Structure 1
Amino acid sequence: MEENLKRKTTKALVWSTADKLGQQLFYLVTGIILARQLSPEDYGKVGVLTIFIALSGILIDSGFSSALIRKKEATQADYSTVFYVNVAISCVLYGLLYAAAPYIAVFFKVPDLIYICRILFLVIPLNALSLIQQTLLLKHFKLSVSARVNLWSLGIASVVAIAMAYGGMGVWSLVAQTLGLSFFRAVFFWVFNDWRPRWIFRMASLREFFGYSSNLVVSGIINNVFNKIYPIIIGKFYGMTQTGYYTQADKYQDIASSLISNIFRSVAFPVFSKVQDDLQRLKRICRKNVRAIAFFIFPIMLLMVVVSYPLISIMLKEQWVPSVPYFRLLCFSGICSPFIILFFDLFNSLGYSRLNLQLEIGKKIYLFAGIALFYSSGILWLIGWWISYSVLSLAASIFFARRFLGYGFGEYVKDIFPYFILALASAILSCGVYLLLPSDLWRLCLVSVVYVVLYLGGAYMLKLEMLQEMLSMLKSRVKRGGEA
């Protein structure tokens, strides 16, 4: 059974990687093209609205997707009931936000937001239509279907957005990309998934899930409000242009951070849920995930800090250079995110959704205190407080991992330390090369190559576990391919 789970996990991880990497590459390429055609103000207008979409997603799902994944024998009645609840909530939320659009525009003093809100928020009911299909695919490790749907949908939506941007449609190209992605995903998930809702609605299913999911909903709301609150604060006090700089900086650091988070999250939670009764096995799997995350997150984020200026100025043009300081600082907070999300899913798999809620409340009180102190001191002060909040969040997660799983600070540091030190040493040596080069293009290209060679070469010489496992897996696949 353990070997079967390992095989399923490996296959799911491969497809999850292909899915998330493909999506982020799409976002990167289309983001570069769009940023060269659009203004920071255009991005600011969409950026201040992301909090409403994120909150709606939490309320629509209501934690039921996690509850369905966690329940080992979920029934057709369970899935159908949750589907109807999702759709009903989404329609109510869209109606409320449609009515609230004029007030949102007045708050930010941007009249255009009335029309942008009413069109953009259509993603809310569209996303609700495919939640159960996605949950079923994730629960049964059928991530190849999800990968195809996501990549096709994003590809079509991005082509439409680029065409509109070159046609001079400005902010509406960003709206079209978001709306198009949700529309095509909904269509394709229904086409490529056999599940259909039945005319069944059971209150017993809702009551069964509610105790577990209610804590997830509240913690999700709290988390999303504060995670997305910076664009609102910056938009209100510093204007749409600065909001555009911030959202772009956050978007590009998040490409790497969320890529790693989502790859592991799409596999980790279902695996954690399947072995939740075997704590020793769960601990081994958790530690392996921590080492794997460390192997990727430290070198990627530190490399982006080193090459941040040429990266932004070459990819997005000089108009985006003011976002570089924001980008550098946000990269440091991005290092913590995949670990925090991993522990969040670990606690949920053990049934401690209430603990996650309590943690979120405590962390957000700390974050709110910093916002209240520094909202008028400048954007860099706000980002600095965000970094301290990320570190505190990770420390709190490790504290409770020790309590429930026996996985404490000592073992955590032991797991990540080799990868952190190697990535830091590679960054310092690469900075020396950076200072010797004459142009931004040379700095971006050559320093990146030097950094990767230093990191992978060091990992090979030190025989770091994760690189050895990856090489072993690669050799095995090549061998099987040769035999075939």
Structure 2
Amino acid sequence: MSFDAVVDTDGVARASRHTVLAQLATQTSRLAVNVILARLLTPSDFGVVAAAMVVMVVVWQLTDLGTSAVIIQRDVIDDVLVSSLFYANVLLGAGLCAAMITGAGPLAALLGQPAAAPAIQVLASVGLLGALGNMHHALLRRTMQFGRLAAINIANALVTGLVGISLAVAGAGIWALVAGTVAGVAVSTVAAWAYQPWRPSATFSPRRLRAVARFSIHFFYSSALAVGFAQLDKVIISRLLGGTALGTYTVAQRTVTSPINTVSEAVSTVSFSAFARDQNNVEALRSGASRAAGVVALIVLPSMLGLAVLAEDAVAVVYGPGWEAAIPVIQVLAPLAALQAISRVTASVMLAMGRSDWLYRWALAYCLAGAAVMVASSQWGLVGVSLGLAVVVVVLTPFEMMMALGLIEMRLSTYLRPLLPHAVISAVMATAAWLAAALADHLGTGSALQLLAGVATGGAVHVALMWRARLPAMDDARRVAGRWAVRSSR
């Protein structure tokens, strides 16, 4: 069985288009479930779910041990290696599942949310279910079969949403999100086995595992630390500020990440697979990184700046009363998320070039600095923690990007210069949106009309300015959307 794919511009465009569609379905489903739950639950109840999800996300990361990245990054793989990695994943997943079930009580207490223990025990099954499908997902990514991956992710999103929303409306409370998550992962694993014909053989080679251990372990360390950094703010808030604050922060963070992940995860996922196939072609990597960053900036900069200036009306309309404390958190996290999305492209470059050890060191730096700054800033509440997180990311990210770009002989200024017009246009758009919403407020309209006025005005201004500027990223975005075919030499 062949484990390779030919990478070309049209192939990357198709892969990006499929992945964007999958992310759109996934994030829309998650946002819908979160909105419904936020209207049915209190911030304190939501904090219980958030605490359980922190444990689940960490365990999910541990089940992989960087083995999926090995499958994608290596030039040559065979059935012996893939089968050995599969069995290692399953053994680890089963062990972590058992550990979560038996240790749910202490873990929940450590997070300051004892009521989360039953949810943690149910979510333990995600570790084993995910491990059973890790290799199949990785093989689909390696062979650039993103159409099939999109179908899998959409099935996951639909099942998660249908189960979660149905149970939420039926009054299941926090169990709506828990049951939806488990059902979605189960469907994802079954679908991956159906779409990827590879089956594990009766072979296990410790020698082959040792041969890939260096890259795998460094990638695992970096991924585990990255996940740790992503969950660190929630752990600190849960321990120091309580469950109500954690629930409020989680809703604010998901409001920001749901729209942005549609683009940034799609681009970074496809970029890693494509960059890994082109890792010996520095010129292709430079061009690919620049174009990927342009597509990300085209969408995330206006959406995040717009969300920041319209956060008050958006929270009032979407979540209703009781969630006002999420407004300033969204205003801090939204612009920060845009920066992180752009930096994910350079992280894919670092990984594709085999420097998972660099990624690990940077993840460690983020964790250490983040823990110190966010604990110190927690005395100012949720906004303090959010600002502390922002300071760490803004200070460290440029240096991480410079190191990654150095691998492909590209300066940070060269990488960022094409993004400057996007930033200027987005700033003008955000100003127009804020002025329109303020005018609607002055006229005595409600939050819904103010939000509508801001979105409509900002959207019109952004489209007009982008059409006038004719930025190159528009051509790449059109290619991804499948509406126009633009030659890569243009």
Shorter-chain TM-score bucket reads: over 0.9
Please list every run of 5 or more consecutive structure 2 residues that lacks an aligned counterpart in the other structure.
none
Structure 2 Cα separation of the partners of residues 206 and 336 of structure 1 = 36
User: Aligned AA for 1:263?
Assistant: A
Secondary structure class of the residue paired with 1:112: helix
What is the total number of aligned residue pairs between the two structures?
478
- Alpha-carbon deviations, 1:353-406, whole Å to 9, x = none? 111112222232221221342233322111101111221232012321343222
The aligned counterpart of 1:122 is 125
Structure 1 Cα separation of the partners of residues 427 and 318 of structure 2 = 25
User: Aligned AA for 1:394?
Assistant: T
Q: 2:173 aligned with 1:170, yes or no?
A: yes
The aligned counterpart of 2:462 is 455
Distance change in 2, residues 1:307/1:207 (3 Å): same
Distance change in 2, residues 1:270/1:177 (3 Å): same
Return the match for 2:431 from 417, 428, 433: 428
Q: 2:472 aligned with 1:465, yes or no?
A: yes
TM-aligned CA deviation for residue 108 of structure 1: 4.5
Using structure 2 for the length normalisation, give the TM-score: 0.93
TM-aligned CA deviation for residue 118 of structure 1: 0.9
Contact 1:272 1:349 survives alignment (8 Å): yes
Structure 2 Cα separation of the partners of residues 457 and 365 of structure 1 = 44
Contact 1:253 1:330 survives alignment (8 Å): yes
TM-aligned CA deviation for residue 470 of structure 1: 4.0
TM-aligned CA deviation for residue 409 of structure 1: 2.7
TM-aligned CA deviation for residue 204 of structure 1: 2.3
Structure 2 Cα separation of the partners of residues 300 and 198 of structure 1 = 47
Structure 1 Cα separation of the partners of residues 458 and 196 of structure 2 = 43
User: Aligned AA for 1:11?
Assistant: R
Q: 2:209 aligned with 1:206, yes or no?
A: yes
Per mean C-alpha deviation after superposition, the further-off stretch among 216-225 and 76-85 is: 216-225
User: Aligned AA for 1:449?
Assistant: A
Per mean C-alpha deviation after superposition, the further-off stretch among 187-196 and 61-70 is: 187-196
TM-aligned CA deviation for residue 472 of structure 1: 7.1
Structure 1 Cα separation of the partners of residues 265 and 200 of structure 2 = 27
Contact 2:263 2:296 survives alignment (8 Å): yes
The aligned counterpart of 1:392 is 395
Q: 2:198 aligned with 1:191, yes or no?
A: no
The aligned counterpart of 2:148 is 145
Structure 1 Cα separation of the partners of residues 111 and 397 of structure 2 = 33
Structure 2 Cα separation of the partners of residues 142 and 452 of structure 1 = 34
TM-aligned CA deviation for residue 130 of structure 1: 0.7
Distance change in 2, residues 1:402/1:66 (3 Å): closer
Contact 1:13 1:264 survives alignment (8 Å): yes
Please list every run of 5 or more consecutive structure 1 residues that lacks an aligned counterpart in the other structure.
480-484
Structure 2 Cα separation of the partners of residues 79 and 401 of structure 1 = 28
User: Aligned AA for 1:405?
Assistant: I
Structure 1 Cα separation of the partners of residues 391 and 110 of structure 2 = 29
Per mean C-alpha deviation after superposition, the further-off stretch among 16-25 and 28-37 is: 28-37
Structure 1 Cα separation of the partners of residues 204 and 218 of structure 2 = 23
Provide the aligned C-alpha RMSD in A: 2.0
The aligned counterpart of 1:269 is 272
User: Aligned AA for 1:81?
Assistant: S
Distance change in 2, residues 1:75/1:447 (3 Å): same
The aligned counterpart of 2:41 is 38
The aligned counterpart of 2:230 is 227
Percent identity of equivalent pairs: 19
Secondary structure class of the residue paired with 1:376: helix
The aligned counterpart of 1:482 is none
Return the match for 1:322 from 322, 325, 331: 325
TM-aligned CA deviation for residue 413 of structure 1: 2.8
TM-aligned CA deviation for residue 94 of structure 1: 1.5
Structure 2 Cα separation of the partners of residues 331 and 224 of structure 1 = 19
Question: Which residues of 2 match residues 73-472 of structure 1 at below 5 A?
Answer: 73-108=76-111, 110-437=113-440, 438-471=445-478
Contact 1:398 1:407 survives alignment (8 Å): no
Contact 1:272 1:346 survives alignment (8 Å): yes
User: Aligned AA for 1:172?
Assistant: W
TM-aligned CA deviation for residue 471 of structure 1: 5.0
Contact 2:7 2:277 survives alignment (8 Å): no
The aligned counterpart of 2:63 is 60
Per mean C-alpha deviation after superposition, the further-off stretch among 194-203 and 419-428 is: 194-203
- Alpha-carbon deviations, 1:150-169, whole Å to 9, x = none? 21232123222222222222
Structure 2 Cα separation of the partners of residues 214 and 396 of structure 1 = 23
Contact 2:298 2:473 survives alignment (8 Å): yes
Contact 1:44 1:243 survives alignment (8 Å): yes
Contact 2:295 2:476 survives alignment (8 Å): no
Contact 1:51 1:229 survives alignment (8 Å): no
Structure 2 Cα separation of the partners of residues 400 and 275 of structure 1 = 19
Structure 2 Cα separation of the partners of residues 478 and 400 of structure 1 = 34
TM-aligned CA deviation for residue 199 of structure 1: 0.8
Distance change in 2, residues 1:224/1:478 (3 Å): closer
User: Aligned AA for 1:289?
Assistant: A
Distance change in 2, residues 1:272/1:105 (3 Å): closer
User: Aligned AA for 1:423?
Assistant: S
Structure 2 Cα separation of the partners of residues 3 and 206 of structure 1 = 26
Structure 2 Cα separation of the partners of residues 372 and 474 of structure 1 = 43
Contact 2:433 2:453 survives alignment (8 Å): no
Contact 1:51 1:225 survives alignment (8 Å): no
User: Aligned AA for 1:419?
Assistant: H
User: Aligned AA for 1:237?
Assistant: L
TM-aligned CA deviation for residue 242 of structure 1: 1.2
Contact 1:105 1:113 survives alignment (8 Å): yes
Structure 2 Cα separation of the partners of residues 468 and 177 of structure 1 = 38
Structure 1 Cα separation of the partners of residues 234 and 480 of structure 2 = 42
The aligned counterpart of 1:14 is 17
Secondary structure class of the residue paired with 2:369: helix
Structure 2 Cα separation of the partners of residues 381 and 268 of structure 1 = 34
Structure 1 Cα separation of the partners of residues 374 and 288 of structure 2 = 37
User: Aligned AA for 2:278?
Assistant: V
